[in-house]
Chain A
Amino acid sequence: MIPTKEEWMDALIARHGSKLHELFSAATVAVCGLGGLGSNIAISLARAGIGKLLLIDFDCVDISNLHRQQYKASQIGQCKTDALAENLLEIAPYTDIKTVTVKLTEDNFAELLKDADIICEALDNAEAKAMLVNGVLEQLPACFLVAASGMAGMDTPNTIKTRKIGKRFYLCGDEVSDVEGTIGLVAPRVMLCAAHQAQTILRILAGKYEE
């Protein structure tokens, strides 16, 4: 039996307090890229009661994703946007979700992301990451940006960290572990980085961005 919206919100208020709940539920967060980072980030944010999630990815769920990304075997072949929206609504049924199935480029990102309070960069390609980060910092200076670099391989979990780079720009990861030259991405280390990004987003919304 799925709880009513009122029961759901009351449960979140009981956990977070009404002030934090208001801040979380009023927020719009864009998650750019729905792979190992983005799918985990979106789940944490939906559970925390973030009001509106904008989910962007151009890709479909592939068998090679399932060792680390939050999809199911039954979803292979589905667009990641649709599959993740489905999973999120099973977890947190009252989340307002908007999906855009498109590849982010220099020409479309500003229009797609302009209404977000916080933009989360969760892409996988290094040049695409740099494109989006530069683009957001140049063209959307009012947004907060939480990006990631370096979470591949079997290295220690303890080097994944969050660093404040600029006034509204945070970077999570170990900043060195490239997917090339390692065994690739493994679920826990990607989840650690995703958790850093999600927690940083919640902290920004809570007004704790002094670090």
Chain B
Amino acid sequence: MVKVNGVEVDAAGKTVSEYIATTEYDSKRIAVERNGDIVFKSQYAVTVLEDDDRLEIVSFVGGG
């Protein structure tokens, strides 16, 4: 299981891109940290999530 924003999710084995495609997140409006390190945008398609990974997905909304 992978912990995504504190919630256990069955996402091990999926790439970051594959996991995001299963969610409501807009990939142009997010930043993703995996185990405390930024996942480069260019690496979403090749970064495979593993059991016990901690994923933090920050989704930006407009206004400033």
Contacts and interface: CB of A to CB of B under 8 A. Distances in A.
Interface in A109-163: 122-127, 129-130, 133-134, 137-138, 147-152
A14 B41 CA distance: 46
A37 B61 contact: no
B64 A165 contact: no
Interface string B29-46: 111010011101100000
B56 A165 contact: yes
Contacts, number: 83
B40 A127 contact: no
A177 interface: yes
Contacts of B63: 124, 150-152, 177-179, 184-185, 190
The range of chain A's interface size is 35 or more
Interface string A170-209: 0100011111100011000010000000000000000000
Q: Which of under 10, 10 to 19, 20 to 34, or 35 or more describes the interface residues of B? A: 10 to 19
A127 to B, nearest CB: 5
* Most A Cβ at <10 Å: residue of B29, B30, B60: B60
B58 A148 contact: no
A130 B64 contact: no
Interface of A: 33, 35-38, 122-127, 129-130, 133-134, 137-138, 147-152, 165-167, 169, 171, 175-180, 184-185, 190
Contacts of A185: 63-64
A37 B63 CA distance: 9
- Residue of B28, B30, B56, B63 with most partner-chain A CB within 10 A: B63
A126 B62 contact: yes
Given A134-B38, A138-B40, A165 B62 contact: no
